[in-house]
Structure 1
């Protein structure tokens, strides 16, 4: 089993095979998902105090906040998977 890692900014990395979705944090349902994950202790804030631009949802129901654009994360994800 080969684990592929994706850089989500500031040296933070997630396992590519665990990612379910990469979304923008602007909508009310996503904000609700973030708040629920925070309440359950399943929120990982990888923004280093910067504005959240991407929300990464994993298969373990963990929610990861990133300060880089969802398109950038997705591009890294796709280009890394194709290798």
Structure 2
């Protein structure tokens, strides 16, 4: 299990991630609102603007203040470290 830093000391398991998307489209906003209503939303922005939405395999939705590109780079770095071991 590899953990990815999604900002401000918050970590998410890379094994559980299904998608990392930008929060600007209406369907993504709808997903966030539904997750909030269902109690499945995790806000890891620490009061900052949401720049990415992470969707997990167990339908949890995580908000992050780190951009999608930065999370992608961190995911790739953790996979490279995994390959080295």
Confirm or deny a common fold (TM above 0.5).
Answer: yes
TM tier relative to shorter chain: over 0.9
List per-residue Cα deviations over 1:45-78 (Å, max 9, x = no partner). 0000100001000000000000010000011011
- Residue 74 of structure 2 is aligned to residue 76 of structure 1: yes
Structure 1 outlier segments of 4+, above 4 Å: none
In structure 2, the gaps of 5 or more residues are none
2:31 corresponds to: 33
Number of corresponding residues: 81
Unaligned runs of 5+ in 1: none
**Whole-angstrom CA distance in 1 between matches of 2:65 and 2:47:** 9
1:43 corresponds to 2:62: no
TM-score by structure 2 length?
Answer: 0.93
